[in-house]
Structure 1
Amino acid sequence: MIRYGIVGCGHIAKKHVAAIEAVEGAELVAVCDTNEERLREFAKDGIEGYTDLADMLKTNVDVVCICTPSGLHPKLTIQAAEAKKHVIVEKPMALTLEDADRMIEACERNGVKMAVVHPNRFRPAVAELRRQLDRGAFGKIGHANATVRWNRNQAYYDQAPWRGTKEMDGGVLMNQAIHNMDLLLWMMGDVEEVASYHATRIRNIEAEDTSVSVIKFKSGALGVLEAAVTIYPKNLEESLSIFGEKGTAIIGGPTANWIKHWKFEDISDEEAETTIKRIDEDPFGVPGHQCIIQDMTDAIREDRTPVVSGEEGRKALSLVIACQQSAETGKPVRMDDLQRKK
């Protein structure tokens, strides 16, 4: 059995609990939170509870899931790595590239594996889109588009003092759209340059609530990213679109789980309709967190790097940081300037 511990008993921790319970060969043995009331909700049925991570790290836990506010991820990840524990860290892995590099280096130095929670890669429609890219179905790609038109009302930000802050939350790109940026990078490859505008238009928060960016990929293709948490009165749309010389694909819906458009030169309308219906029958598939837990469990047994590694998580974070720098300076930012120095 691969033994898991969770740090941070908030909302997202419940997804980790369900995921660990669903994976054969994985077992939740410990939880940690400084809030004893929250801790009691999770520390039951033989699961040990700790208010100090140092105490939990002295146990036989193999993997630590970091489910705390984003600003705490670096310190806790490094602490777990120094104790020779593998790490799964929620997105964003950190709020600065310096912290992300310290996390990656700590895991490398201590010979432990690190995975970042970008579960949207495992959605059935997204996986199908990646398959079409891998087989070259689009031909030469012209551009791609990612859209996050969601609602996070003021009550959402007021429920915890860290939400909406630059130090602990990071804003709409860091806290919501980073998943979509991960998908853009996974589909389109490395970015050469980005230019962005940010604004805090409606929510009473420190970070931005609206962002628009234009991206130039190293392939020469272009991209557009629109992200907002100000849509009235509820989540409207999350979409990922790719446009090529031989294919057009749009994945959308309130969350990007449904195929909205699927046209390829070498795929008949009947075959396309079959694919769309297959996705419609099970648009969510295996929960993404379960896929992340399964992959880490397998990676430990097979002694390989997790699919969404620390380096992969850093790529999405780098794009967020580039967008932030561009918005702050009013100038395009070249991604090569943000590469990890080894």
Structure 2
Amino acid sequence: MSDKPMARLALIGLGMATKPHLEGLDELRGRVDVSGVFNRTRAKAEAVQDRFGFPVFDSLDAVAADPGTDGVIIATPPNQRAEIVAMMARAGKHVLMEKPIERTLTGAQDMVALCEAAGVTLGIVFQHRFRAGALRLRQLLAEGALGELALARAEIPWWRGQDYYEVPGRGTLARDGGGVLISQAIHVLDLMLSLTGPAQTVQALTATTRMHRMETEDFATAGIRFANGAVGSVVATTATYPGGQESIVLDGTLGTATLQGGTLSVVWRDGRTESVGESAGTGGGADPMAFPCDWHRDLIEDFARAISTGGAPAIPGREALRVHALIDAMVRSGASGAQVTVEAV
């Protein structure tokens, strides 16, 4: 077996969300190399260099021009990504990007199309799919162990203090593209859709509660009809103190599966039960990064393997458009008060 790393990746952007990326890359040494890191504030990059030993790039142009860089992990705020993705795609660099793809569904579709036209792999960071409980639930569904899906329920009772939204641009349309739906709930909604299949129609209510002063929503709820005939509901908020674990409950004709945080519990109608997973933090409380790096590590390794083999990553950009379409429909329905159709992507 070759000792050569599967890929050499550069990390662009060193904000709060990059902590598990850096720790995951550190654990992947030998399997995935880091060609360097880049941040507009060089002091942040140098601090990462001091801690992890990763080289520092002087500019985005240097990243794009580096022949030893196979791909990039982009972890900048959403409003900074389009130009970076275009530059890296033109240079033939594969792209692994933090969620969301872009601030709007149209912007996300354009980004996916750009990478497809350039012939580069685009993967999206939805690390919740790599939890042990989620992997087991997907296997059970593939085997038909729960029977036909009848009902899906997703709840995200998270907390963010006002100080979180005092950071310039956070929770705004201009920088983030929205509030709780596109910044926090998107992870759980993507995981739900990866299990249920696409949503067809949505009836939603969105609001900003008295807990926060912010431009966009900190509360959203919706009834959903899925393409496969199942129905479901979503409740998502960052206004529930002190914050709790998110959950997805799938009710099938043969049993019910509850995925809470990283733990899966299954109760079959014949009396059998099963429990799988870990009880790690999920970032639902005041510390958004209170979770391990394992899921990011496995996702990055999967992306590197896709580059090495020429295959598709576990979460390709086009598949990730489904959650953007659902969020777009929820926002439109919340604004109009009417039931809306989820755009087919």
Q: TM-score, with normalisation over the residues of structure 2? A: 0.89
1:226 to 232, 235, 252: 235
2:277 to 276, 279, 283: 279
2:328 counterpart letter in structure 1: I
**Structural mapping, 1:193-342, within 5 Å:** 193-201=201-209, 202-232=211-241, 234-252=242-260, 256-259=261-264, 261-265=265-269, 269=272, 272=273, 275-276=274-275, 278-280=276-278, 287-335=294-342, 338-340=343-345
2:240 match: secondary structure: coil
Instruction: Summarize deviations over 1:310-338 as a string: whole Å, max 9, x none.
Output: 01211111111111111112212212xx3
Partner of 1:50: 57
Identity %: 30
1:31 match: secondary structure: strand
Partner of 2:186: 178
Q: Contact conserved, 1:212 with 1:227, CA < 8 A, in 2?
A: yes
Partner of 2:40: 34
Q: Contact conserved, 1:148 with 1:228, CA < 8 A, in 2?
A: yes
2:251 match: secondary structure: strand
Q: State the alpha-carbon separation in 1 of the partners of residues 268 and 102 from structure 2.
A: 38
Partner of 1:6: 11
**Structure 1 residues 281 and 157 mapped into 2: Cα distance closer, same or farther (>3 Å)?**
closer
Which 4+ stretches in 1 moved above 6 angstroms? 281-286
Partner of 1:154: 162
Partner of 1:87: 95
1:80 match: secondary structure: helix
Q: CA RMSD in A?
A: 1.9
Deviates more, 1:117-126 or 1:71-80: 71-80
**Structure 1 residues 207 and 100 mapped into 2: Cα distance closer, same or farther (>3 Å)?**
same
**By how many angstroms is 1:52 displaced?**
2.6
User: How many pairs align?
Assistant: 326
Instruction: Summarize deviations over 1:104-154 as a string: whole Å, max 9, x none.
Output: 122112211010000111111111111111111222222110000010110
1:176 counterpart letter in structure 2: Q
Q: Which runs of 5+ in 1 are unaligned?
A: none
Partner of 1:25: 31
Q: Contact conserved, 2:280 with 2:292, CA < 8 A, in 1?
A: yes
2:198 to 190, 204, 208: 190
Q: Contact conserved, 1:95 with 1:317, CA < 8 A, in 2?
A: no
**By how many angstroms is 1:61 displaced?**
1.2
Instruction: Summarize deviations over 1:148-191 as a string: whole Å, max 9, x none.
Output: 00101101111x20211112122000000001111111111111
Q: State the alpha-carbon separation in 2 of the partners of residues 63 and 40 from structure 1.
A: 21
Q: Which runs of 5+ in 2 are unaligned?
A: 282-290
Q: Contact conserved, 1:69 with 1:162, CA < 8 A, in 2?
A: no
**By how many angstroms is 1:72 displaced?**
1.8
2:338 match: secondary structure: coil
**Structure 1 residues 135 and 181 mapped into 2: Cα distance closer, same or farther (>3 Å)?**
same
**Structural mapping, 1:81-120, within 5 Å:** 81-120=89-128
**By how many angstroms is 1:71 displaced?**
2.0
Q: TM-score, with normalisation over the residues of structure 1? A: 0.90
Instruction: Summarize deviations over 1:39-90 as a string: whole Å, max 9, x none.
Output: 2212346533235312221112111111111222222222211111000000
Instruction: Summarize deviations over 1:201-239 as a string: whole Å, max 9, x none.
Output: 12111110000011100111101010000012x212310
Q: Contact conserved, 1:125 with 1:251, CA < 8 A, in 2?
A: yes
**By how many angstroms is 1:265 displaced?**
3.7
2:235 counterpart letter in structure 1: E
**By how many angstroms is 1:91 displaced?**
0.7
